[in-house]
Structure formats: C-alpha cells, structure tokens
Structure 1
Amino acid sequence: MTAHYQALAETLKKRIEVISDTELRDSNPQQQLRQLQQASESIQAWHSAHRGNIPSQLNHFLQQSSLSKALDYLESEGLI
C-alpha cells in the first residue's frame, strides 16, 4: 500500500503547489484551474478506489479536502 500512498502524496503536493503558484494564476488563470481540476480529480479517484482500506483519519481529511492535513498525516504516520 505504500506505493499507493506515495502516489496520493505526490498528487496532494502537486495540488498544493498549483494553489500556491501566484505567477501562474496571474499569467494564465485558466491553466491553473485546469491543473487544479486535474489534481482534484486524481485525488478523488484515489480516494474512491481506496476508501475502504485507509485509516479513518486519512479518510476524514480527504472527505473534507484538508489536503495539507492529509499530507501531514501520511508523513507523520510513516506511510510515505
């Protein structure tokens, strides 16, 4: 399952990076929205596929779209 968690962590990091990219937001907001949508869809797809096999706290963070908390959880629990 660690490889699956690593894939989730990478997608969470990517979405957080895109949100923080003010240069992209200012120069090409449509591209930023596309990247955010793509990352969000990947996170949702991962969550749907693994929902029954993940810790309840991680499930909660993903349901609430608490992406930084989800990433922190993966790191603090040694899952990635």
Structure 2
Amino acid sequence: MASKKFEKGSEEWMFFNDYYKFRQKYYEADDGEEWFAGMMKAGESLIEKYAQTNIAKYVQSLIFSHFEDVERRWKSK
C-alpha cells in the first residue's frame, strides 16, 4: 500500500491546516441564522481558494460533508 507524506507548504498541507481551523470554528451550531451564514461563507471561501488546484473536487466534497454533519447534529438536538 502506498502512502504519502504531505510536504509543508503543499496544497494538501495548506488545505488541511485551513480545514482544521474551519472545522474547529464551525463545529457546533448555534441557533442564529448569522452563524449558519458565516459558516457557509467561510466554507465557500475555502472552496474558492482551492478551486484551481488538483484537490478542488475533494475540497468541495469535504466542505459540503461538513455542512451536512453540522446540520445533522443540529437537527438531532
């Protein structure tokens, strides 16, 4: 099985750092529409930031999965 170490400064490395910060900031939803709008805007900014990279589709999928996860957990409360 092949593995790969993401080199510091690579697209993947930068994205996972950005995603980690995004996930921490927008992990637990509150009841305000402003919070959800902020999360969506931040996620869309990440998608746009990495749109011209080789991982663009992966970035989009992961951000959308985060949106779904937050919504699912918020609705289950």
Q: Which bracket does the TM-score occupy, shorter chain normalised?
A: 0.3 to 0.5
If each structure's helix is expressed as a fraction of its own residues, which one has the higher value? Answer: 1
* TM-score calculated relative to the size of structure 1: 0.44
* TM-score calculated relative to the size of structure 2: 0.45
Q: Choose between structure 1 and 2 for higher RCO, CA contacts under 8 A separated by at least 6 residues.
A: 1
